[in-house]
Amino acid sequence: MGTFIQLVIDGLSTGSIYAALALAIVLVNQATGLINFAQGGMAVLSAYIAWQLTAWSVPLILAILISIAVSFVIGALVERLLIRKFEGGDPDTAVVVTIGLLTLVTGVCAWIWTYNNRLFPSLFPLDTITIAGAVISIRSLGTILVIVAIMVLLQVLFLGTKLGLALRAVAINPQSAAFSGMPVGRLLMVGWGLAAGLGAVAGALVAPQLTLTPNMMDGALVYALAAVIIGGLTSPIGVVIAAWLIGVLENLAAVYVPFIGHDLKIAVPFIMIFVVLIIRPQGLFGRKTVVRV
Amino acid sequence: MSAHRMRMRAASVVAGLGIVALLVAGCTRGGDNGGASGGESAAASPGITDDSITLGITTPLSGATAGPGTCTVAGITAYFGAKNADGGVKFGDGKTRKVEIKALDDAYDPQKAAANYGQLKDSVFAMTAGLGTPTNRAWREAAIADKVPQALIMTGDPIFSDQKESPWQLGFVPIYQNEGEAFGKLLASSSGDHKVAILSQNDDYGQGYVEGFKKGIEGAKNIEVVKELTYEATDTSVDAQLTELAGSGADVFFNAMSITPLVISSLQKTQELGWKPSWFLPSNTSSPSAILEPGGASAFPGVYTVAFAQSAAAPTFADSDAGKTFLSDLKQYADYPDTPAFPHCVWSYQVGATLDQVFQKMTEPTRDDFMTQLRSIKDYVAPLMLDGSSVDTTEDGQPAVSTVQVQKYNGKGYAPATSWE
């Protein structure tokens, strides 16, 4: 029983890493209608900025806050200078542009900071507490709580604020939004900026555990995309729950289903995707998109 | 299935390159014969003149393995940089040559490695020092077909040290089995009973270590392997495996893992779980400054590894004469200002020193003579080697360095461990 609880807790903790990235992807999607494959790469860049600041002996909390602010600006600039040229065109082109951006950002990080592993100080102490026979590290607990807080904030932003409403309007129908007097361009920049800032939080949470390298987020990105599809592109709560499900089920399947084992567990989220897409194409928590003719 | 297809594709690329290589080699050899009809007894091979010799390297300079990969170029560049500054290396044929190095990035991608080899083979005398098992395997057959030396490469794969299978190859570092066996033997010599848990990478690397370890404990009644699990090199977390292994009650944990971040998080996770076994770590993932300190390894009763070279991160290293020379050469000639966190920089430096020995014995500027002399080095103690280790290239089936010393982490660096306590 102790092992079972431990596996669930471990799953929630790795799931939170996927969730952090998945939330940033949802944010960009809600604000611009795009899937940004470069989200992981941009999060790594943010983490490097924070790391560089700590290397210049800026206190960790301050370094992360500065990196969030800088990332917001970088995100907004990327939208304005690069993505803007492809908006309104074929969405497939824009997606390919974001994949190119991922390669570029990874290359830039490697160029500046090399591929050597950098040790990123942890926001939380390494101590542990024991609950019901399972050991929970303060770090995992902290990561999980931060994710929950961000998830609630995003849900409130999109459903309860004017800015959220405007962001959604621009994403769903940019033309009508423009006709009703909304500053579409500026809202798109804000959407990308917010997502990049959120990515910076994700990067700072993940980097102590994975150690900072330019490719740090590549593996997590695959799981984050799976969480986004399973949870539904429109629902912050949905993707977080999906990411946790992936983390937990993956662990349990590896240990308790001998046929899967530790070598095939990466297939678990993708089997879940097939099942979910067949039963509920809009994702577990997503809303169906209705188009008025 | 896709892996199979990739292998097929890789094979066909290699085959294609092989054909091209044969054609090109045929042409150049014809040309050489025409040009060198003068006094020399044997026509010089490509990549060597009366005053220079060019060596080729394909190794990961980008991607996850770039840290160690960059080191494989830096070490040898530092060694020969210093030699060149002194005038060059005196060869057995009486000529003094400067050594030039051409290094290309393969990003640990076998196809890129094969392409790099194709690009280099006609302008270099020999290929050397490159890191990686799948990458070195990708062009092994082409190198045999072209008769291009693939000498003193950084892989623990035994195939490169088998003279029949690999007549133009020789590995430098100990094969995985050497390391696993050394640890198994030390453990078996213990007076107490031990339960062992094993986590290994699901490929030749992990299997080699486990195979060697089991050979080392063969017949030892006091050692029992209680649980064995594997992980994939692409995994971002092995928490589930560690939780399962912690439940086995083992007091010794053999973690045959090659991924730096995973080793750090394993050290941390195991402590969180309250499982405090003795550890054994492979030589390439046991760096005190890059792995053990951030992982908090002092919490365990013992962390063991094997080594044949001094660790540049050890506190006494920078004070020793050899260490000082190494660090300043690295800075001056290889543009590597930091104290390397990976052992590959020292290894590559030793590859340079070993090649120097081979060059001194070469009486003809040919690849054939190079291979003959390459296999004739015995009892050579390269700079920065540990006591008890030496280069011996004369034994078939063994790499240039096969004698390893088990070492125990003492909170700062490593000290030799001759018994298990």
Residue B318 backbone dihedrals phi, psi, to 5 degrees: -65, -15
**The pLDDT of residue B387:** 83
**Hey, are the CB atoms on B64 and A215 less than 8 Å from each other?**
yes
Of A190-194, B76-80, B207-211, the range with the lowest mean pLDDT is: A190-194
pLDDT band at B9; cut points 50, 70, 90: low
Nearest CB to A262: which of B67, B240, B261?
Answer: B240
- Cα separation, B387 vs A60, in Å, equals 44
What residues of chain B lie within 8 A of the CB of A3, using their CB? 243-244, 247
CA B70, CA B56: separation in Å to the nearest integer? 14
Question: Can you read off the two tokens belonging to residue A28?
Answer: 């960009």
Helices B110-120 and B2-35, axial angle in degrees (round to 10): 10
Q: Which residues of B touch A266 (CB under 8 A)?
A: 232, 234-235
Q: Output the CA torsion sign for B328, B329, B333, B338.
A: negative
So what's the pLDDT on residue A288?
67
Taking alpha carbons only, the member of B402, B385, B421 closest to residue B181 is B402
Whether residues A126 and B235 touch (CB distance < 8 A) is answered with: no
Structure tokens at B389: 């280790």
CA dihedral over B300, B231, A261, A5, signed as positive or negative: positive
Nearest to B272 among A2, A137, A254 (CB): A137
pLDDT score recorded for residue B24: 45
Please state, in angstroms and as integers, the Cα–Cα distance from residue A179 to each residue in A174, A176, B208, following that order. 9, 5, 67
Say which residue the tokens 């939080």 belong to: A201
What is the token pair recorded at A285?
């928590």
The structure tokens 């020292």 sit at B346
- Per-residue pLDDT tens over the stretch A48-76: 999 999 999 999 999 999 999 999 999 99
In tens, the pLDDT along B304-350 reads: 998 888 888 777 788 888 889 999 999 999 988 888 878 899 999 99
Q: ∠ at Cα A161 (A155, A166), nearest 5°? A: 100
Q: Where are any strands of DSSP class E within chain A?
A: 128-131, 134-137
The verdict on a CB contact (< 8 Å) between A266 and B234 is: yes
| Banded model confidence at residue A29, pLDDT cuts 50, 70, 90 | confident
Mutate which of B59, B232, B237, B255 to disrupt the A interface (most A C-beta within 10 Å)?
A: B237
Mean pLDDT of B208-212: 93
In terms of Cβ atoms closer than 10 Å to its own Cβ (0-12, 13-18, 19+), residue B100 is middle
Q: Which of B74, B298, B421 is nearest to A114 (CA)?
A: B74
**The residue type at B375:** R
Query: What is the rounded distance in angstroms from the CA atom of residue A163 to the CA atom of residue A168?
Result: 9
Tokens, residue B252: 């010794």
Buried b (16+ CB within 10 A) or exposed e, B249-270: ebbbbbbbbbbbbbbbbbbbbb
Please give the residue of chain B at the shortest CA–CA distance from A108: B62
| Whether the Cβ atoms of residue A282 and residue A288 lie closer than 8 Å to each other | yes
Q: Are strands B169-171 and A134-137 parallel, antiparallel or unpaired?
A: unpaired
**Helices A184-210 and B260-272, axial angle in degrees (round to 10):** 70
As a whole number of angstroms, the distance between CA B195 and CA B395 comes to: 35
Q: How many CB atoms lie within 10 A of CB B188?
A: 17
User: What's the rounded Cα separation, in Å, for the pair B134 and B110?
Assistant: 6
- Say if residue B213's pLDDT is above 70: yes
Q: What tens digit of pLDDT does each residue of B283-300 get? A: 888 888 778 888 888 889
DSSP conformational letter for B52 = E
In this prediction, residues A174-192 reach a mean pLDDT of 84
CB contact under 8 A, A115 and B290: no
CA distance A152 to chain B (A): 27
Confidence of residue B21 (pLDDT cuts 50, 70, 90): very low
Q: Which residues of B346-362 are buried (b: 16+ CB within 10 A; e: fewer)?
A: bbbbbbbbbbbbbbeeb
Residue A22 CA, distance from chain mean position: 3
C-alpha A188/C-alpha A168 separation (Å) is: 10
pLDDT by residue (tens digit) across B114-156? 999 999 989 999 999 999 888 999 999 999 999 999 999 998 8
**Distance (Å, rounded) from C-alpha A48 to C-alpha A112?**
10
Q: How far apart are the C-alpha atoms of B339 and B321, rounded to whole Å? A: 15
Residues in chain A whose Cβ is within 8 Å of chain B:
2-3, 6-7, 10-11, 13-14, 17, 110, 114-117, 119, 126, 128, 135, 137, 209-211, 213, 215-216, 219-220, 250-251, 254-255, 261-263, 265-266
| Residue with more model confidence, B85 or B259 | B85
At position A18, the amino acid (one-letter code) is Y
Mean pLDDT of B87-107: 92
Q: Is the Cβ–Cβ distance between B258 and B205 less than 8 Å?
A: yes
Give the C-alpha separation, B48 to A254, whole Å: 55
d(CA A24, CA A228): 10
Instruction: Give the CB-side neighbour count of residue B162, counting CA atoms within 13 A.
Output: 7
Would you state the pLDDT for residue B86? 92
| Cα–Cα distance for residue pair B201/B195, rounded to 1 Å | 20
Query: Rounded to the nearest 5°, which phi and psi values hold at B376?
Result: -120, 15
Q: Predicted confidence band at B28 (pLDDT cuts at 50, 70, 90)?
A: very low
Burial of A12 (0-12, 13-18, 19+ CB in 10 A): buried
pLDDT of B81: 94
Query: What is the rounded CA–CA span in Å between residue A283 and residue B256?
Result: 40
- Out of B202, B260, B272, name the one closest to residue A128 (CB): B272
Strands (E) in B220-334, as ranges, are 223-231, 252-256, 278-281, 303-307
ipTM score assigned to the predicted complex: 0.74
Q: Give B341 to chain A, closest Cα distance, Å.
A: 9
Residues of chain A above pLDDT 70, percent: 97
Asked whether A22 and A239 are in contact (CB, 8 A), the reply is yes
* Average pLDDT of the residues in B240-254: 91
pLDDT tens-place string over residues A108-163: 998 888 777 788 888 888 778 877 777 788 888 888 888 888 888 888 888 888 88
Instruction: For residue B266, give the nearest of B282, B250, B279, B284 by alpha carbon.
Output: B279
What value does the mean pLDDT of chain B take?
85
